[in-house]
Each structure stands twice: as structure tokens, then as C-alpha cells.
Structure 1
Amino acid sequence: MEDWQINQAPRERQRAVSGSAKARASDSPPRHLRQLVEVLIDSGALQRPALAKRVGVSKQTVSELLSVLEQRGLVQVAGPLNGLPGRSSLSYALRPDAALALGFDIGGTKIAAALVDLRGAVLAETVVPTAVGGLDQLVGQVVDLAETLARSAGVQRFRVQACAVGVPAAVNPATGILNLAANLPGLEAVDLHARLTKALNCPVSIENDVNLALLGEVASGSGQGKRDIAFVALGTGVGAGLMVNGRLLRGANGGAGEIAYLPLPDHRTTARSLAQGHFETIVGEAGIREAFARRGGAADVSVRAIFDLATAGDTRALQTIDELAGHVALGIVSLIALVDPELVVLGGSVGARPELIERVQAELAARFERPVPIVASNTGARAGLAGALEMARRQLMADLFGEE
């Protein structure tokens, strides 16, 4: 299993607070069980001889492994494929809905949530406004969403055995405590992990939302096959997820990648702006609108409209985007100098704009001697949720069937 797929320290903590997880930890899955399940996920119904060949074990071992899965209700006998009687003629298929996983991408204004089966197939998905009012309201909303998704999918919620939650905050990797959570009022320094684990009655992982967006890109987006990669999200706010040698880089307090606080020189640089996240004040949506207004543009125009004006040839809009690209390139140079990624993915409502990426590439070539590919996210606004679902499903697979 890749290092990024499971946050090991939180998993140990999850097992300490969850009785069912504790039981699974003490009853480690048999060897080759995970391989057998992966084969069933990829290939559908197969007979014992074919399974033995794919896994590289004897038919007797396959029979023993299938027996374990049958006892847990995780496989079903699909019947003889050739019409002949006998155990060897029986085919076996995974019951992908026997165990399920939840993913949540919690933002300051909305929550995206989905339910997936063992294969990663989405059974139900929804987006709702984020509840305001603090910890109790948010936990209650997450539980309600879990119930709603289970009903929509026509499954019992007790089948949910893993959950991953993305939040716009730094998450302490040892304690699960949130910090730098300005977009989630009332959640700074609270133990959201413990509350959700108890409320959902299953192991829960909590991760920074941009880190999860990075995982989504590595799993099914522009970053597939990469082990050293940076994901930079540019929109209302700014953040980055970093992967080094296949391992998600979190830092001592979960704050690795918080590029909003980069102290880039600018006419607006003050001690106050640095403390509040200076880089974000320049390249976030509010900073882009301010830069456009400074050039004589309308103060109430949206960032989308500014890009549209630039496409139409408006000089003020073009100058604004050129300036933005220079600032973004400086931020990316800082990341490259520190972690040396083989690829940079730009995402978010602003970052994924092709006209910005083209300019950033040109600025980067002028500022850094070694070219680093910069590409747009192809998971879009769903990147954080995709990463949460992948993390939750991987956690589920590891708990049920062992590590890869």
C-alpha cells in the first residue's frame, strides 16, 4: 500500500476509540486475502482454479480464503459457469455493498458527500450548504447526511465501516485537532475527530481538504503514477497539498502546504497582512478583484468576469491576470525549491483556468532554471470529495482484508 493512502497515526487513534476497529486490529486478515479480493474487484465472478492462478496460491488456499469471506458475508456464490456439478465449477463474486465507506468534503459554504462500495463505485452523492453554529451543528449535519445517503442508496447504514472527512484547516496528524480553521468558525482547537467517530460509530480519518484533493488527483486525475507532486488550489482561498516519495507531507502540526502565509513582497506587505495570510490576500479572489479595481476596473466585478474580459482583450483585465500569474509563479518556485516535485497541478475555480496556467508556465520558465510541468486538475470541484472517498475506501480495504 502506498504511504499516502492511510494516515497511520490517526488510524491508531481511531482504533483506540472504536470497539469494532479494535476487534479488527486484533484479528488480522489471512495472508493473500487482500490479493484475492483485489482480483475479485477487477475480474468479477471467477472459479477457484482461476482465482488460484491469479493470486498465485493453491486451490486449497483459495478455498480457505473464500471460506473466510463467506463467513463475513463478503462474497456470494454465483453458481456454476459451465453447468457442471461440483465445487470446482462454482464461481465466486465479491459483494461490493457488504461494506461501505463515506467521504465528506466540508467547506465554509457547502459540504459534498458521497457513499461508495468496496469497488469505489458511488452509490449516492449530494451537496448541501454547510451548517453554521459550531461543532454540534456540524456533527449533526454529517450524521444526517450519512443517513440520507444510505437511504438514497437503499442500504443499511451499519454497513458503513469507514469514513474520511476533508476540512479547510490544518489537521494535527497525532491528535486530529484542527488549527488554521478560519473558514469553519467554532472548530478551531476542537476534537472533531473524536466527535465524528462516536457519532458515526465507525473509524474516521480527518484530513486537510487540499491534501485530499491531491490524493484524488493521484488516484484518478492528472497526477496518476506520480510520487513527488504538488497540488495548488487557487480560488476564494489558497492552499497546497504536497507528496514526497509517495508520502503525503503533513508537518508537525498538519500545516505543511499552507502557502497562504508565504510572505511574498508586494505593495500591500505589512505585519498584519503577513499574520492573516499574505499570499492569499494577493492571489485569492478578493486580491484579484482588488488588483482589477486598482487599475480602474469595477470594484464589484467577479473574478470569472475579469477572466472573460481578459479573453475579450480588456487591457486592465489582462494586466491583472499577468500580475496574478507572476505572484502564483513565485509561490510555486518556493514549493519547487523546498520539495522538488516532478509535477505541479493547479486546481480550484481560479487555478484551473487555462489562460492562467499558460501565463504561470511562462513566468516559471523565466524564474527557475529547471522546467517543471504544470497542468490543470481534471477532477475539478470534485477533487476533495474524490480524495476523501479514495482514502475512506482504502482504509476500509485495509481494515477488512489487510494491507496491499
Structure 2
Amino acid sequence: MRAGSPRMLREINDRAAIEVLLREGPLTRAELELAIGLSKPATAQLLTRLELDNLVTKAGVRGGGRGPRAQLWAANGGLAFVAAVDLTPHVADFVVADVAGVVLAEYRTPLPVHAGADVVGTFGEALQKVAEEAGIEREDLAHVVIGAQGAFDPRTGLLSSAPHIPGWLGFDVPQKLSDELGVDVLIENDVNLVAVEEMTVGMAQDVDDFVMVWLSEGVGGAVVIGRRLLRGATGGGGEIDWMRVPDPATVDTGDVWPAAGARFGNLVDSPAICRLAAAHGIQADTAWDAVAKTGPDHPFRHDLAKRVAGGVANLVAVADPQLVLLCGDTSRAGGEEFAALVQEKLHELVLPRTPVGCASVQGNAVRAGALQSALATTREDVFGVVTPTLLGSRRPEGDSTRPRPTSPNR
């Protein structure tokens, strides 16, 4: 096909229109015309063409004003359906949406994760239940993305660094789930998915390079370079738990660290922060409780900020990001005041004046990021709309016999 041919131009304009409708929701012809820069006749022809191809549908009318009500157009969400799951040791949080992003059903339930549990069977039952609540069958799901606290190796399908969900270890997770449940499944690190959500609707929308540090019961991280998640050769990109860093605390917490330094995860997970708080005379059951009990100038806060900054400094020294975002329960408890304190301590350790802030996405950011990833993959299959920053890490070609979904519209 010659560059600039009428057919190619139509395809470019069609994709541009669908991208706008997916991003903005239902629009009138005039609004779409303005968004994609086409003339009124060209936009009308485009909508007619897309409607005939079943890619867009009429979505009611917009009232208001003295003139006639304007027809609204939307991407056809009924062409495909996706599911997203936040899998934790305590509860699994499911959501099903159509390919336009309209949420159809949500479901929360505890799932067994202990060694020897039928994790595939119980997961499949929960997925079937939420699919039925959405008015579809489980097999109607084009793509399912699971967020889990661990590292996923796309070469082998194995989860690692996940002792809290032992039942999910030791087997090719996406392959087994896909084969036994009859749907295409991807599993992804939970903090990576939070980063995806921050890139989509949060503080990192206009940032090319940033890192995230998750502080909650445990510790996690994500690194984004050039708007792409850095996953690493074995899926361990951003697994900052194992970094060796010195303990800069000014009080004796009773911990004895090796000469090589403490594991970062052993310094800033919830039990470690509670011990640090106790050494400062603060009794708390969780790290976020300890942070909430103290003001921004409390010595405990300064010691904790030093610990966090010590780990962040390693990331900044290597990646030199534009932004560092703190997320998780502990970070939320401290808010922007704690982020500013971490920034102050960080700038004492590194040359770049990298800003430190708090992640802005509210609610279950892991599930929301999983949904964004599932939608991106499915939209590529259905509409040909590519969103590289949000695509999941599909297994390298040749490493899997699992067929890639094919849209009937392509």
C-alpha cells in the first residue's frame, strides 16, 4: 500500500476517531470532528463507515440548548470483555468491563493461597461468578490480567518473591490458567500495575521516566523508562526489596544487620517500621498507624525518611528519573509532608534534584492498573489501537504454544 493512499488515510482517521471515543467516551459528530480535525462531511462518512463495521454505535442523544438534540457516538464496547484482579493473601478483588471500559460487575472474595490449594479451580469459580454478574460467560472474556505481589518471569511463567501466596508458586501461571479456564490470562507485578494507572490518570501522565516505591506490609517498586515498564530479563525489574542499604536510624531498634548492609525490605516493611517507632517511644500495630500518630517534625519521621531515601537513592543514581512517587498504606499515611521529607533526605545523598511526591490514584490502584492493561491489549486486538505503555508483557514469540486472540473485526 502506497504511503498516503486514500485507504491508508481512512485507516489512520478511523483509528484516531476510535482512540478519541475510547478516551473521552460518547461524543457528538461535531465534538469528534473538532477532536480529530476532519471536515464535517469527512467525519460523517467516517462514522457511517465505522458503524457499518460495527466498531461504533449510537449512544443516545445530548440535550441542552435551543437546537435539536445531538446524536452521541461511542466505541462498541460489546465487541469484547475483559477482567482484572488484585490478588492478595487476604482477598481477591475482581472487576469485569467491556472493551470501551464500562465496568459491568465487581466481586471481592477470599481465595485459598496456601501450598497445595486448588488455586486454579477456586480462581476459575470466582471468575465465573463475576462474569455471570456482568451478564456474560467466563469464556467470553478476551483477556484477564492479575496483579500479584511478586515477580513474574515471562520466559517461564513462574512467580517468584511471593512467599505469601505459596499455592501460586512452582507452575506456569498464565499457561495453566489459560488452558484450564479457557481465557487468555496474564499475571503482573502489583506495583507495576499501579505505575500503569499513574501513567494513565495520575501524577505520571506527562512523565517519561519515573520510579515508584510501595510502602505497606511489604516493599515493592516499579521503574518506568521512556513510558515503558522496565521488567528486566527475569521479570525482576523494580524488585527493590533485596537492595542492600545501610541503616541510618539514630536509635537502637534491636536489629543486627550484616556488614554488607540491611535488605531494604527489612528496613521499611511494616514490622521494621513498627520497631523503629517503638525505639522512638511510639507503640503501633502497623507502619501506617505509626506514621499517622506522629507529626512531620518527629524524629521517628526523620529516621524513616532517611531509610526510605537510602533505597530511593540507588534507583535515582542508576535511572535518573524525572519523578519519584511513593505509594502504599505507609506513604498515604504520611502524605505530601512525608514525601517532602524523603525528598529532603534524598537530596543529601544524590546529585539529581529529583522531586518526590505521592501517588494520586485513589481506590484499588492495582486492580485499576490491571484493568488498563487488559483494556490496552484487547483494544489492540479488536480496534487496532496500540497503547504501548499499557500493554502487558506477553510471552516472547516462540516460547508459548498458546494462540494469541484474533478479533473477528480484523
TM-score band, normalised by shorter chain: 0.7 to 0.9
Higher mean displacement: 255-264 or 350-359? 350-359
Higher mean displacement: 186-195 or 289-298? 289-298
Q: What is the correspondence of 1:312-351 to structure 2 with a 5 Å cutoff?
A: 318-351=298-331
1:290 aligns with 2:270: no
Which of 194, 214, 217 is residue 198 of structure 2 equivalent to? 217
Higher mean displacement: 177-186 or 337-346? 177-186
TM-score by length of 1: 0.78
Alpha-carbon displacement from aligned partner over 1:25-79 (angstroms, at most 9, x marks no partner)? xxxxx6655334234443636569977994856866765543332xxxx544569
Distance in 2 separating the partners of 1:212 and 1:197: 20
Which of 183, 186, 203 is residue 167 of structure 2 equivalent to? 186
Partner-residue secondary structure (3-state), 1:251: coil
Counterpart in 1 of 2:65? none
Gaps of 5+ in 1: 1-29, 82-88
Which of 257, 260, 266 is residue 269 of structure 1 equivalent to? 257
Counterpart in 1 of 2:293? 309
1:193 Cα shift? 0.6
Gaps of 5+ in 2: 1-10, 63-69, 248-254, 387-410
Distance in 1 separating the partners of 2:29 and 2:52: 14
Q: What is the correspondence of 1:46-57 to structure 2 with a 5 Å cutoff?
A: 54=36
Amino acid at match of 1:225: D
Q: What is the correspondence of 1:165-244 to structure 2 with a 5 Å cutoff?
A: 165-244=146-225
TM-score by length of 2: 0.77
Distance in 1 separating the partners of 2:373 and 2:296: 42
1:271 Cα shift? 7.8
- How many residue pairs match? The answer is 358
Partner-residue secondary structure (3-state), 2:52: helix
Name which structure has the greater RCO, CA cutoff 8 Å, separation 6+.
Answer: 1
Distance in 2 separating the partners of 1:269 and 1:49: 62
Alpha-carbon displacement from aligned partner over 1:278-326 (angstroms, at most 9, x marks no partner)? 211111101011122334554x64334322431398xxxx333221110
Aligned-residue RMSD, C-alpha: 3.3
Distance in 1 separating the partners of 2:78 and 2:338: 42
1:347 Cα shift? 0.4
Counterpart in 2 of 1:19? none
Distance 1:91 1:297, change over 3 A: closer
Aligned-residue sequence identity (percent) comes to 29
Partner-residue secondary structure (3-state), 2:53: helix
Partner-residue secondary structure (3-state), 2:166: coil
Distance in 1 separating the partners of 2:44 and 2:116: 52
1:232 Cα shift? 0.7
Distance 1:33 1:163, change over 3 A: farther
Partner-residue secondary structure (3-state), 1:270: coil
1:249 aligns with 2:230: yes
CA contact (8 A) 2:146 2:186 kept: yes
CA contact (8 A) 1:48 1:90 kept: no
Higher mean displacement: 230-239 or 105-114? 105-114
Distance in 1 separating the partners of 2:238 and 2:186: 19
Distance in 1 separating the partners of 2:233 and 2:361: 29
1:280 aligns with 2:265: yes
Which of 335, 344, 349 is residue 362 of structure 1 equivalent to? 344
Which of 79, 89, 103 is residue 108 of structure 1 equivalent to? 89
Q: Which has the higher helix share?
A: 1
Distance in 2 separating the partners of 1:49 and 1:362: 46
Distance in 2 separating the partners of 1:245 and 1:96: 30
